[in-house]
A and B are shown apart, each in its own frame.
Chain A
Amino acid sequence: MKVKMLCRDPNDYVRETKKDIFKMPRNYDSSLHPLEVPREYSRALNSTKLERVFAKPFLGSLDGHKDGVHALCKHPTQLSILLSGACDGEIKIWNLAERKCLQTYIAHDGFVRGICMNPSASMFLSCGNDKIIKHWSYDPLSKSKSCDAIQTIVGKTFYTSIDHHFKKPVYATSGERVDVWDINHLEPVKSYSWGVDSHYSTKFSPVEHNILASAAADRSVILYDIRQSVPMRKVVLAMSSNQICWNPLEAMIFTVANEDHNLYTFDMRKLDCPLQVHKDHVGAVMALDYSPTGKQFVSASYDKTIRIFEANNGHSREVYHTKRMQHVMAIKWSLDDKYIISGSDEMNIRMWKAQAAEKLGLMKPREREQLEYGEKLKEKFKYFPQIKTIKRHRHLPRPVYNAIKENRIIKASRQRKEANRRAHSKPGTVPFVAEKKKAVVDEQE
């Protein structure tokens, strides 16, 4: 009797080695897959939801300062080292990986206003309200932990910030004037002043190394070339700016953090109108820092929040806040594009993830592929209402939430008033002025 049975040849399905990959026959004819868009849509929706589920940006805080942290400085070549200066004149060196303080210096009388490191990281400089600039040696391998400055320069006036040239042994300070110093000299090599007696901050361009920008008390932003004996150009904004940051990828672009709750991105060549106005903060913006990829920047505000903006987008993509964080006075974006470090008034330094939902550490290729696929799907379907709302939704502290609501009402009222005025006056007498142009008052030669 013949028995009929199922028969399979193991050669057809047993792999000889682990790396033997059988080709899965698949027909990619789109007419056979009528539901591809709905399927991808639901995948996109799921990954958007998962992103919000996994969004835990706060990594930890470094406590140890006895006063508000107003100055931060990144190590130019090492990711784990951070320098911070507090209002009681202390400077601390931190190891971020271990979250430990490596060393403490009693640096200044009163506020430490600025810290910067030279490109070879052999020393760092600090300046303070006590009219003193100090040079400190930085040698992590040396055994002697001396806490004395190698050079102390007593200036005539106060200093508000300090920044080092990206290549040469030259640094710049701001205060009553903007001074350019040689590291080996006790007097400034150059001094720039242009009708203003106080500068809030100054910053060298990381790409065109000789260009310098400063934010002054007369609401202006001034550009300098340290090869010239005079400043180059001045642009006066509606309110004064607190800090400047240059884009590390685009030489002509810089962004200023303004008192009027906004940030303005300028092209150095067209100062009469900013390229982009970045709104969303509800308090004065105190500090900002570009990501090393130049595509985003992070801003710290007096409204006790941190916001992350796309460089070419007017609204923030992310907002960070905690219950205990007070006015955020200093902010830095780590050089590996992964972390954000903030210093705030309540003595803490906080570490955040730059991408709130990002998984840290190494990933298996399959996992990485899956996440990258999710990212692309989110990007593809980001205009759809469901996904848009989930992606944008953030919980905000009540004062910020209320302020945003109030601002919305104020804006609507202003618009209404302008429209009314336009409607009831001679045509052409009330012109349409772009929101961007309103920020710039004057460009001076």
Chain B
Amino acid sequence: MVKKKSKIEDQFFSIDNDLDEEFITANDQIANDIQNELDEDEDFLADSEQKDSLLLDKLRSLDGKKSKRLRTELVKGELDVILNSTKKIRPSDLLNSLSGIHDSGELKKIFSKAQSRTKVLDTPLPAYLSGKAQRLAAYSEEKKQIAKWDPVVRRNRAADQLVFPLKQPDYSLQTASAYTKAWKPETDMERQISEILETSENNLTDQKLLTQAELRAIQAMSLEEMKQKRSEFLKLKAMQMYQESKFKRLKNIKSKRYRKILKKQRQKEEQKQMDALESNDPVKFRQVVEQMEKDRMKERMSLKHKNTSKWAKKQAAFAKYNDQARDQVQQQLEIGKNLRKKLPQLEVKESDEEEAENEVEIETKVLENNPWMKMMEGVGGKKADEEKKEIASEFAQPKAFKQKEEIVVSENESESELEEEVNGEGLAEVTDVLRQSDGDEQAPQVVNIQPLIEDIKFEAKSRDKLSLSEAFADDDVVEEFRAQKKSVIESEKVKAIDLRMPGWGDWSGAGIDPNEHKKRQKNKARRLRKKLVIRPQDVLAREELERRDKGLEHVIISEKKDTRIAEFQISDLPRRFDNVHDFEAKIAQPIGRTWNPDFKFRKLIQPKIKTKLGSVIQPIDKDDVVKDIKKK
């Protein structure tokens, strides 16, 4: 029955075959167990029923009435024989009893045949039991299946970092051929285009050298014609190649001279063109020249081709290492220079020499008229004179003298340093002397200040070597510390607890003799003190009362809880740590960049879960996990 049911299910939900079998065997076993239990129960019931009926019959016979259930009793008796006999009765045994009757042989044959073929089905279980059996089997099977996830779950829980989505996209590149193979035209236009392309005769396939159209063209030509065309084609191709190689060669020439020649040629050409223009089309020539003039003006006004632009500065920075950058800067300067060049005057038709002379004259005139230039001349003149003199004197001075001067200079330096270091009185003399020497540069005085300096230095050193006691002569640190310790001891001392209340054990009022009362009072007070004042030495042991810093003169050990530190202390060890040492080690390990190299820092701050912005995270997939495991 169970098999039947599971087969029906098979039709709908496909289950793995082996899984199905396992499930069925488990199911059968449980069913058998339950059947056995059931049989035992029935036997027990039958026995008790039998006894009851016998008892009833006996009671009825006491009344003198004949038992009506005699027949059934007899049958029961027979059955008892059958049921109670240890030997099992087989159908063949029953057949043996038919031995006298004819045809019995045939009957036997038929019976044996039938017996060999058929198998008797078990009685079906009651619904509630079969359901339970199925449930048990299903659950145990599911448990087994789900246990396969255990290593995955464990791994994910222990992982330092989980990156979601778990299924990373495939980043492998698709080749063009793979793409085109997979591609299929979808829209109408695509379909039309692909149809045209496919049917075209100009498609070149891998196998053939020529396309269909080419082949047809070749076939259509005569041999002569073809040869001619071919030779023409080859010639053209060869020429093209020569030309290309020539240009390449020319381009690669690095000779400066060649380049200069080339440039001159170009300039000449340009000049020629200009001349031609002048003679042929003066209007246009004029325009060109005017334009050039304008450009020049603009260039002179602007800083466009000077090295002041942002770009130029950047290039200049690169120039040290980058030849290209340097060239570019140079080029720009060149452009500027060319643009700023003077142009030939349009009207002036005189010879070159005259022109030059004129120019010089104008320049001098301008210089004379310009008050700025005059001023500059005066200053420049003076300076130049001085420079000349200096140079002359330098050459005139003997070598030894120069050296002395240098010494003085070096001592000047040491002077300023010393002034900063020590403001000694003895120094004044030296500085005075030196200042004098400063004032008269032409005739420097050589003073030996070495011994003086040494004296000052010695003094400074001896001052450094003051003893501690001298330095702290005014404030008595030792005594202060002692007092502090005393106050700490006093404040931390365990104090006696006084439970006495005012007025206890005291009587007052009329009829009390004050003297007698005083005496009594004294005794009473003593008794009360003994009873109600709890002294620390009565409760605590001597070790507990003793301070830990008793013998230590320079130390205060306080055993009081410091509330300010308590803010930074945890009371219980966190659950994930086994001992205090581990926890402290964890806290002592810094994470920050200040204490760790960069790569370590990046590693330490990795978050436990990393997700990608805007991407959907799907649940873990069995197939992916299996793939991952196989890969590993």
Contact = CB atoms under 8 A, between A and B. Distances in A.
B604 A376 contact: yes
Interface stretch (A109-117, A221-229, A410-418): A221-229
B390 interface: no
B607 A375 contact: yes
A343 interface: no
A230 B135 contact: yes
A362 B471 CA distance: 62
B25 to A, nearest CB: 16
A384 B617 contact: no
Nearest 9 Cβ contacts at the A-B interface: A292-B617, A206-B619, A248-B619, A251-B149, A372-B605, A232-B139, A36-B590, A335-B616, A228-B138
Contact of B613 (A76, A336, A386): A336
Contacts of B111: none
A337 B617 contact: yes
Contacts of A385: 567, 569-571
Size category, B interface: 35 or more
Contacts of A248: 619-620
Given A207-B622, A252-B146, A383-B574, A233 B139 contact: yes
Nearest to A269: B143
A380 B135 contact: no
B15 A251 contact: no
A337 B590 CA distance: 30
Nearest to A246: B619
B126 interface: no
Given A189-B12, A249-B156, A249-B620, A336 B605 contact: no
B609 interface: yes
A249 B587 contact: no
Nearest to A384: B570
Contacts of A369: 602, 605
Contact of A207 (B13, B149, B164, B317): B149
A336 B617 contact: yes
Contacts of B134: 228-230
Nearest to A33: B595
29 contacts: A1-B412, A2-B413, A4-B413, A14-B317, A16-B318, A33-B594, A77-B616, A166-B619, A208-B149, A211-B142, A227-B9, A227-B15, A228-B138, A229-B134, A230-B131, A230-B135, A230-B138, A232-B138, A249-B619, A268-B142, A269-B143, A293-B611, A293-B617, A294-B620, A336-B617, A376-B605, A381-B587, A385-B567, A445-B136
A252 B164 contact: no
A376 B227 CA distance: 83
B620 A207 contact: yes
A32 B469 CA distance: 31
A292 to B, nearest CB: 4
Interface of B: 5, 9, 12-13, 15, 131-132, 134-136, 138-139, 142-143, 145-147, 149, 153, 156, 162, 164, 317-318, 321, 409, 412-413, 567-571, 574, 586-588, 590-597, 601-602, 604-607, 609, 611-620, 622
A51 interface: no
Contact of A250 (B9, B153, B590): B153
Nearest to A36: B590
A2 B409 contact: yes
B597 A250 contact: no
Nearest to B571: A385
Contact of A268 (B146, B162, B609, B614): B146
Interface string A366-399: 0001001101110011011110000000000000
Nearest to B150: A252
A337 B164 contact: yes
Contacts of B595: 28, 30, 33, 36
A336 B412 CA distance: 76
A164 to B, nearest CB: 13
Interface stretch (A37-45, A152-160, A425-433): A37-45
Given A2-B409, A77-B616, A231-B135, A292 B164 contact: yes
Given A207-B149, A208-B145, A41 B592 contact: no
A299 to B, nearest CB: 19
Given A226-B13, A336-B611, A385-B570, A43 B146 contact: no
A39 B594 CA distance: 10
B592 A373 contact: yes
A230 B133 CA distance: 10
Contacts of A375: 605, 607
A292 B318 contact: no
Nearest to A208: B146
A76 B591 CA distance: 39
B153 A252 contact: yes
Nearest to B166: A249
